[in-house]
Amino acid sequence: MEDWEQWELFSISGTPTPASVNARNVITNPNLRATPDAISRFWRQVVKGPADHCWIWVGAVSTPDGYGRISWQVDGQRRTLSAHRFALLLDHGDVLPDGIVGEHSCCEPLCVRVGDEHLRLTTQSANISYAVARGRHNSNRKVVDSDQRATRSLRVRAAVKDGWDLRTLRAAQDNFPTIPGQNLLW
């Protein structure tokens, strides 16, 4: 994945998002609006937990970061976003303010439930501060290998893909290798 594609995936403002054309002449368009079909496909890939539990994305998971990902295409133009960012767009409108990111206060990267206890709008600075406070980020020191993040997300996705099962989900979330002396990532 090119650097600019990673920036586009998380829609971090102030970064370049040049159009690119792939071998099938599909143009990447970071401003492409979500279609009704994309929205319908998104909700088919969400398993909603009961009561106040997370809503888990069970579609594509990107590596190495372990976040959900959704893509859609219209008239030879394509857009890809992280699933949680897509959820925020559905909840807050087609365009989010510059400098705004999605923060998982529930600490589950596959959660797409918008709300203060799960996924909320914040700044990158506040998001990093929250991650440091929770032990998910430690300055420039590695907390966990990136490939382990994706592996964990794949386990979480598999735990609920066929329906909500809290016990299986908790086992998938907790069975996560850590670096000695570090807090759990999630």
Q: 129 or 75: whose pLDDT is higher?
A: 75
Question: Mean pLDDT across the chain, nearest whole number?
Answer: 80
pLDDT tens per residue, range 81-121: 999 999 999 998 877 778 888 888 888 999 999 998 999 99
Whether residue 181 is contained in a domain is answered as no
Residue 110 and residue 43: Cα distance in Å, rounded?
Answer: 13
Whether residue 179 is contained in a domain is answered as no
**Residue 135: what pLDDT?**
66
Domain hosting 85: range is 3-174
Whether residue 143 is contained in a domain is answered as yes
**Residue 175: what pLDDT?**
53
Looking only at the bridges linking them, the beta strands covering 77-82 and 27-28 are parallel
| Residue 178 scores a pLDDT above 60 | no
**Residue 87: what pLDDT?**
96
pLDDT tens per residue, range 111-164: 999 998 999 998 888 878 877 776 666 656 555 555 688 899 999 999 999 999
Query: Which residue do the tokens 């409108």 mark?
Result: 93
Whether residue 14 is contained in a domain is answered as yes
The highest-confidence range among 3-7, 63-67, 87-91, 105-109, by mean pLDDT, is 87-91
**Residue 177: what pLDDT?**
44
Whether residue 185 is contained in a domain is answered as no
Helix boundaries (H) for the chain: 3-10, 36-44, 83-92, 124-134, 146-160, 166-174
Whether residue 170 is contained in a domain is answered as yes
| Residue 4 scores a pLDDT above 50 | no
Count structural domains, the chain.
1
| Residue 49 scores a pLDDT above 50 | yes
